[in-house]
Structure 1
Amino acid sequence: MFGVDEKLESIYKEVTDRNTGETEYLQAVKEVLASLPPVLAKHPEFYEYNIIERLCEPDRQIIFRIVWEDDKGELHINRGFRIQFNNALGPYKGGLRFHSSVYLGIVKFLGFEQIFKNALTGMPIGGAKGGSDFDPHDKSDREIMRFCRRFMTELYRYLGDDIDVPAGDIGVGQREIGYLFGQYKRLTHKFEAGVITGKKLNWGGSQVRTEATGYGLVYFVDEMLRDHKKSFDGMKVTISGSGNVAIYAAEKVTQLGGKVTAMSDSKGVIYDESGINVETVKQIKEIERKRIKEYTKFHETATYYEGGNIWKIKTDIALPCATENELTKKDADTLIKDGVIAVGEGANMPTTPEGIKTFLDAGVLFAPAKAANAGGVATSALEMIQNSRHDVWTFEYTDKRLKEIMVNIYKTCNETSDEFGSPGNLITGANIAGFIRVATAMIDQGVI
């Protein structure tokens, strides 16, 4: 599995034995470990200090029960999680996800990825993740508020602007962030704005935070394209999903001269050869909170495919921005046959290992999630800086900082892939660059 490196084989077996059934987490660990043999050959001290074993075991796993009352007075029980994985580079940092699919393996996978993603930003932030199997869809504002209050009542004692700083993720937007912070303030008697990010602008939030992950993805892919004498200009682009990441990726693609022809949600796909109108999608998804099929009511040129597969639509550039393992080998084969030139991962681990190998073998430019979708956490870190300084930056300045960070991440991944014998393989470059930064800090700080 890892070449002739028997030590890595032994470590991975130990990880699988200790985390049985946590499929997504084990997939994420395997991907990172597969990139490490050339690093370990050059830096045997990483074995000496048991860096890999320490990285694969979270510093802290917090699991708790949440009992909340709905509008009818009925009680419901959910499970909450916070996995504080590694703080060698700074306070734990990572989002909270509220979705019915959340379980320990998902949270650990996301937290493990967050270690390296955060390291790649160059910002002083460690890796963590959290959430609950609570689903805010079809819940009233008061029900969501009651749930958030109970969630924070269990979690607040583990948080702090120099300890652990959560943010939003799927199911956790500015509404939920507000309720969570309000309860934190009530319990601690402190207006500690830097304890959570993704806030509204009027009480400590950052410009560009809403747009950051989607914009950052496109900035990264654009730099990758330019490095190969290409650009978004005149390209057809398909984007899976229609949430925050997908919407703002579509907006930035359009600004750069690309044409987004298809988007999706869990029920189906919209296709508009004339180009998706992003403002319409915002109206449907962000304001009305309806299904993407509503788009056809506003645009006669659009077609809706119930249960459709967006990867069957011919495109130049594919941006998977929906969920993990959504793009399979079969999908990759279809996209390659139809002439795709680049894939950029906006969601976390949206392409299966077999799909990734298919793209790489075919010479398709591939931007991996832990590098390409780091814009969200990078801008969260910028929000933390503003909060610590009691400062407010303009949209233009923050967007400029975001673009600089994403361009630097691309350059770091590309240069690292060259240095360690895998030129152009940004997956290897991202894994190695993030790993070295964290591992070196761990050694500097001793065995803790």
Structure 2
Amino acid sequence: MVHPQEPEFEQALNELSVSLRPFLEANPSYAKAFEIVQIPERILQFRVTWEDDQGRPQVNRGFRVQYNSALGPYKGGLRLHPSVNLSILKFLGFEQTFKNALTGLNMGGGKGGSDFDPKGKSDNEIRRFCVAFMSELGKHIGKDTDVPAGDIGTGAREIGFLFGAYRRMRGEWVGVLTGKGATWGGSFIRPEATGYGLIYYVEHMIAKAFPHLSLSKTSTKVAISGSGNVAQYTALKVLELGGTVLSLSDSKGALVSKDGLTEATVRAVMDLKLKGGALSSLPSQSGVAYVAGKRPWTLLEQIDIALPCATQNEVSREEAEALVKAGTKIVAEGSNMGCTMEAIGVFEGARKKGGEGAVWYAPGKASNCGGVAVSGLEMAQNSQRLVWTSEEVDAKLKGIMTECYNICLDAGSKWSGEKEEGVLPSLLSGANVAGFIKVADAMKAHGDWW
């Protein structure tokens, strides 16, 4: 199938198709499963009409892509951003299906959102939008059916408004959304989970291939893009462990420091972003430069570990080549499909060559699955009407990321189709094949293909 009007979805599908080729050649019966799994089980599109502070009606498009429920209720975030369209949500839901499979938890894949932009809106306008959005979405979700979460533009405030609208609409308190407040059904470590999980995954990559890059050393230099939730907690975890954080960024530019950002600077960025500010308005910090219109990847002479944590396709071929030139050894995505296909080709090419120039790349569906993993743990806590401590949740998160890494490593070793000695296994192939097999086998057991 070709999807020329859905470039993001086509990119995700092509990536999976390439990774699966050796497996499908050895197991041709699974070709039918691959054909079937490409098509969402259900796509919901609806109108969202809400009232602004001047009393004028406004309208946006609402979506929910319920992609695959073979492993459990549909699970995936709600993105509120002007760029939201069906192609982006289909790609995200498709990726989410296999990402959720890699967590080992009983969750299917889905994604949703709207082209509504929370930036510049008052709290009352956002509340009215959320109530209008949930008045339609609430007909199609439930704790055992579809459990949305936050995403870009959908933080604690929005989740609160959405949950309140659902509770009033349905007259019941159930764990139908994750990312809830800690005092009303949320889980400890949920805000931190994607960033923390990314670092736990990277620590396994370091131990396997580059032990000299221990994150306990200040000499280990980590470049991070983005300045939202994922980037913030990724940076804080690196600093907590003892590594050096070189950068953060937003859609307008990058914040870089050759000597490293301090925790105080990262906390200042957190406060700024909470108020909707841009990095360009951050008060001057000693040893920190703001570069307008640039991402961090070409701005630093030495980068040991690169962690894209902003949005899709934020690392181009040219930027990937710059990272290789800067001595980067590990690239792991905190964002979904953070690297273009051309950039991935650069990293995978460097991995296959091996030697001093080797680069090991981890795709987001594996390295950033910690966020949805803790969302799954939040669902479990809600079902049992209890709350686990931060230490308990963090320990479970570490276990999930360890198992995810091991699954990807094993599948990459077996199904990448590579025979060269001394070359690191493809975590890209491993994540794609392992996630696909788990979903496909469940679909077969249910009679979805035969």
**Band of TM-score, shorter chain:** over 0.9
Distance in 2 (CA, whole Å) between partners of 1:279 and 1:82 is: 38
Match of 1:119 among 76, 101, 112: 101
State the partner residue of 2:291.
Answer: 305
CA offset digits 1:12-34 (Å, max 9, x no partner): xx2x1xx3310000100010011
**Following superposition of structure 1 onto structure 2, how do residues 207-356 of structure 1 map, counting pairs within 5 Å?**
207-230=188-211, 231-232=214-215, 233=217, 234-283=219-268, 284-297=271-284, 299-312=285-298, 313-314=300-301, 315-356=303-344
User: Secondary structure of the residue that 1:203 maps to in structure 2?
Assistant: coil
Match of 2:46 among 64, 68, 78: 64
- Whether contact under 8 Å (1:242, 1:285) holds in the other structure is no
Cα distance, 1:285 vs structure 2: 3.2
Distance in 2 (CA, whole Å) between partners of 1:20 and 1:332 is: 25
Distance in 2 (CA, whole Å) between partners of 1:304 and 1:360 is: 31
State the partner residue of 2:354.
Answer: none
User: Secondary structure of the residue that 2:64 maps to in structure 1?
Assistant: strand
**Following superposition of structure 1 onto structure 2, how do residues 38-437 of structure 1 map, counting pairs within 5 Å?**
38-47=22-31, 50-192=32-174, 194-230=175-211, 231-232=214-215, 233=217, 234-283=219-268, 284-297=271-284, 299-312=285-298, 313-314=300-301, 315-362=303-350, 363-420=358-415, 421-422=417-418, 424-437=425-438
**CA RMSD of the aligned region, Å?**
1.3
Structure 1 stretch displaced more, 372-381 or 276-285: 276-285
State the partner residue of 2:353.
Answer: none
Distance in 1 (CA, whole Å) between partners of 2:88 and 2:263 is: 30
Unpaired stretches in structure 1, ≥5 consecutive residues:
1-13
User: Secondary structure of the residue that 2:234 maps to in structure 1?
Assistant: helix
Distance in 2 (CA, whole Å) between partners of 1:274 and 1:296 is: 18
State the partner residue of 1:5.
Answer: none
Distance in 1 (CA, whole Å) between partners of 2:247 and 2:287 is: 12
CA offset digits 1:352-410 (Å, max 9, x no partner): 11111111212201111110010100000000000000110111110111111111111
State the partner residue of 1:6.
Answer: none
Cα distance, 1:229 vs structure 2: 4.0
Pair 1:441-2:422 in alignment: no
Q: Quick one: percent identity of the two aligned structures? A: 50
Structure 1 stretch displaced more, 282-291 or 319-328: 282-291
Distance in 2 (CA, whole Å) between partners of 1:368 and 1:244 is: 19
User: Secondary structure of the residue that 1:382 maps to in structure 2?
Assistant: helix
Distance in 2 (CA, whole Å) between partners of 1:279 and 1:180 is: 32
Structure 1 stretch displaced more, 156-165 or 278-287: 278-287
Stretches (4+) displaced over 4 A: none
Cα distance, 1:286 vs structure 2: 4.3
Distance in 1 (CA, whole Å) between partners of 2:255 and 2:30 is: 48
- Whether contact under 8 Å (1:246, 1:321) holds in the other structure is yes
- Whether contact under 8 Å (1:243, 1:285) holds in the other structure is no
- Whether contact under 8 Å (1:64, 1:79) holds in the other structure is yes
If the length of structure 2 is used for normalisation, what is the TM-score?
0.93
Unpaired stretches in structure 2, ≥5 consecutive residues:
351-357, 419-423
- Whether contact under 8 Å (2:235, 2:266) holds in the other structure is no
Distance in 2 (CA, whole Å) between partners of 1:229 and 1:187 is: 53
